[in-house]
Amino acid sequence: MKHLLVICGASGVGKTTIQDYLVKNYGFKRVLTHTTRLPRKHEVDGRDYYFETRSSFFKNNYLEYVEYDHCLYGSSAEGLNRAWQTSDWAVIVLDTEGAAAYKQKVTADLKCWYIYVSSESTLAARLEERDTNAAARLASSEAQRDLHVPPKLKDFCNLIRNDEWQETKKIIAKLLSK
């Protein structure tokens, strides 16, 4: 049986950190997605994202795609199947619109974790450390929207507060032991 875990939430809440932890410690395979955003320092094409131009982006077949903070992001069935070739447990990081689309479309065993941080100033500080244009990113309408779990995902997602990493690890262990 194939399983897919969707991780969603606003920018900077720790989605990628949690995904990396699941890959390193729980045998998950990461589903790579495509974006027209420029790579950040340390990000590598084909490892973190498939980095695309506006024209190369549309050469792929997407299950869903969105515009987030003026850039395009999309995920394909091929990407998902590639992950499932090496592990029955795949993990993908999406915005909440993408998570809602997966809820409608994906028939495999699907779980969703909505990640949040209880203080917006903590979030801003974390983003500041990660990005140069952090304030603008958090101010984007999509990041602001994803600061709250949308009603359509409320009963579908486990809500995980990622304030203290040691606590987050315990919550993850508990959720994955079920």
Ligand X SMILES: Nc1nc2c(ncn2[C@@H]2O[C@H](COP(=O)(O)OP(=O)(O)O)[C@@H](O)[C@H]2O)c(=O)[nH]1
Whole-Å CA distances, 49 to 39, 57, 107, 109, 122: 8, 12, 24, 24, 26
Name beta bridge partners: 73: 35, 66
* Choice between 52 and 95, CB closer to ligand ADP: 95
Interacting residue with ligand X among 3, 37, 103, 145 (CB under 6 A): 37
Binding stretches for ligand ADP (CB under 6 A): 9, 11-17, 126, 129-130, 162, 165, 168
* Choice between 108 and 136, CB closer to ligand ADP: 136
d(CA 80, CA 53): 21
At its nearest, how many Å lie between ligand ADP and the CB of residue 94? 11
Q: Which does 126 bind (CB under 5 to 8 A by kind): ligand ADP, ligand X, none?
A: ligand ADP
Name beta bridge partners: 7: 93, 113
Conformational region of residue 77, where left means phi above 0, alpha means psi within -120 to 50, and beta covers everything else: alpha
Q: Are strands 3-9 and 109-116 parallel, antiparallel or unpaired?
A: parallel
Interacting residue with ligand X among 75, 83, 90, 172 (CB under 6 A): 75
In the complex, which residues of this chain contact ligand X (CB under 6 A)? 11-12, 15-16, 33, 37, 64, 66, 68, 73-75, 93-95, 97-98, 137
